[in-house]
Amino acid sequence: MRIEGKVVLITGASQGIGAACAAEFASHGARLSLTARTEEGLRQAAPKDALLTAGDLTRDETRRIVVSRTLERFGAIDILINNAGAGLYGPSWSTPMEEVRWLMELNFFAPLALTQSVLTHMRSRRTGVIVNIGSIAGKVPLPWMTLYSVSKYALGALTEGQRMELRREGIRTLMVCPGYVKTAFQQNARGGQPPETVLLSRRFAISSAECARAIRRGVERDARTVVTPRAAWLLVLAMRLFPALVEGRMAAINQTA
**Catalytic amino acids?**
148
The Cα 35–Cα 41 span in angstroms is 10
CA atoms within 13 A on the CB side of 81: 30
Residues 153 and 104: beta-carbon distance below 8 Å = no
